[in-house]
Structure 1
Amino acid sequence: MNLILELFFTFLKIGLFSIGGGYATLPLIQQQAVVVHPWLTLQEFTDIITLSQMTPGPLAVNTSTFVGMRLAGLAGAIAATGGCVLCGILISLGLQRFFRRNGDQKAVLHLLETLKSASVGLIAASAATIVLIALFGVSSWKQPLQFNGTALILFALSLAAIVKGKLGPVPLLILSALAGCFFYL
Structure 2
Amino acid sequence: MIYIKIFWSFFQIGLFSFGGGYASMPLIQNQIVDLHGWLSMKEFADVITVSQMTPGPIAINSATFVGLRVAGVLGAVVATAGCILPSCIIIMILSTLYYRYRGLSMIQGILKGLRPAVIALVLSAGLSLCQASFGLERQDLLRFHSIDYASIVIFTFALIGLRRYKANPIFIMLLSGLVGMLVFS
Report the TM-score, using the length of structure 2 for normalisation.
Answer: 0.92
Moved more, 154-163 or 48-57: 154-163
Looking at structure 1, the residues matched to 34 and 47 of structure 2 have their Cα atoms a distance apart, in angstroms, of: 16
**Deviation of the 1:163 alpha carbon:** 3.3
Runs of 4+ aligned structure 1 residues displaced above 6 Å come to: none
- Once the two structures are superposed, residues 22-46 of structure 1 have per-residue CA deviations (whole angstroms, 9 ceiling, x without a partner) of 1111111111111110111112111
CA RMSD of aligned residues (A): 1.4
Looking at structure 1, the residues matched to 113 and 82 of structure 2 have their Cα atoms a distance apart, in angstroms, of: 26
Looking at structure 2, the residues matched to 159 and 52 of structure 1 have their Cα atoms a distance apart, in angstroms, of: 19
Looking at structure 2, the residues matched to 64 and 119 of structure 1 have their Cα atoms a distance apart, in angstroms, of: 20
**Deviation of the 1:162 alpha carbon:** 2.2
Q: Which residue of 2 aligns with 1:144?
A: 140
- Once the two structures are superposed, residues 50-104 of structure 1 have per-residue CA deviations (whole angstroms, 9 ceiling, x without a partner) of 1101101111111111111111111111111111111111111100011111111
Q: Which residue of 2 aligns with 1:154?
A: 154
1:60-79 to 2 correspondences below 5 Å = 60-79=59-78
Looking at structure 2, the residues matched to 115 and 165 of structure 1 have their Cα atoms a distance apart, in angstroms, of: 32
Distance 1:163 1:124, change over 3 A: closer
1:8-47 to 2 correspondences below 5 Å = 8-47=7-46
Looking at structure 2, the residues matched to 137 and 129 of structure 1 have their Cα atoms a distance apart, in angstroms, of: 9
Identity across aligned pairs (percent)? 36
Q: Which runs of 5+ in 2 are unaligned?
A: none
Q: Which residue of 2 aligns with 1:95?
A: 94
Counterpart residue type for residue 84 of structure 1: C
**Deviation of the 1:106 alpha carbon:** 1.2
Q: Which residue of 1 aligns with 2:82?
A: 83
Q: Between Structure 1 and Structure 2, how many residues are aligned?
A: 181
Q: Which residue of 1 aligns with 2:163?
A: 163
- Once the two structures are superposed, residues 138-184 of structure 1 have per-residue CA deviations (whole angstroms, 9 ceiling, x without a partner) of 3xx4x223322111111111122223444312222221111221222
The answer on whether the counterparts of 2:14 and 2:82 sit within 8 Å (CA) in structure 1 is: yes
Q: Which residue of 2 aligns with 1:179?
A: 179
**Deviation of the 1:137 alpha carbon:** 4.1
Counterpart residue type for residue 51 of structure 1: V
Counterpart residue type for residue 182 of structure 1: L
Distance 1:67 1:162, change over 3 A: same
Report the TM-score, using the length of structure 1 for normalisation.
Answer: 0.92
